[in-house]
Amino acid sequence: MITLAWRGRGFWIPILVALGMFTPIIVLRQIDGPAIDYGVGITMGIAALITAISGFWLNRLTPKDEPALHSFWRVPFQYWALPMLVFAVLLGTRTITTAESPPPPPPPSGVQVLSR
């Protein structure tokens, strides 16, 4: 039996995540740095709000004792907004970043290396 990863309009979840992740990369034409971090944070936050609002709206008629009408991997549509929002906040606060780490500092020039 073939099972789908989504139910109803749950296929919108990966599309919204992809739009949130790749739109700043395409628009800004770079793949790392603080501009991309802020851009992805903003667009992922917007995608999270769209996901939450549309999830509550689409699943409003689902009876409490039945599975959600619109879900992805059996998780209701609106619950996917939480990991998207956490990712957006972590990028926006620079807790995680795509910027390259600075090179290690060179050794002090006044230190003499002893050799045998």
pTM for this structure? 0.77
Position of tokens 């999270």? Answer: 48
pLDDT band at 110 (very low <50, low <70, confident <90, very high): low
Does 21 reside within a domain?
yes
Does 83 reside within a domain?
yes
- Amino acid type, 59: N
pLDDT band at 1 (very low <50, low <70, confident <90, very high): very low
Q: How far apart are CA 51 and CA 33, in angstroms?
A: 26
Across the chain, which distance is largest between two alpha carbons, in Å? 82
* E strands, 1-116, in order: 6-7, 71-72, 75-76
Helix (H, G, I), strand (E, B) or coil at 97: coil
Segments forming the whole domain that contains residue 75: 10-61+69-92
User: What pLDDT score does 112 carry?
Assistant: 65
Rounded to the nearest integer, the mean pLDDT of the chain is 84
pLDDT band at 109 (very low <50, low <70, confident <90, very high): confident
Does 29 reside within a domain?
yes
User: What pLDDT score does 116 carry?
Assistant: 63
- Amino acid type, 112: Q
How is residue 5 annotated by DSSP? Answer: S
pLDDT digits over 14-49, tens only?
889 999 888 888 888 887 788 888 888 999 999 999
Number of neighbouring beta carbons within 10 Å of residue 36: 20
- The tokens for 52 are 């939450």
Does 97 reside within a domain?
no
The count of domains in the chain is 1
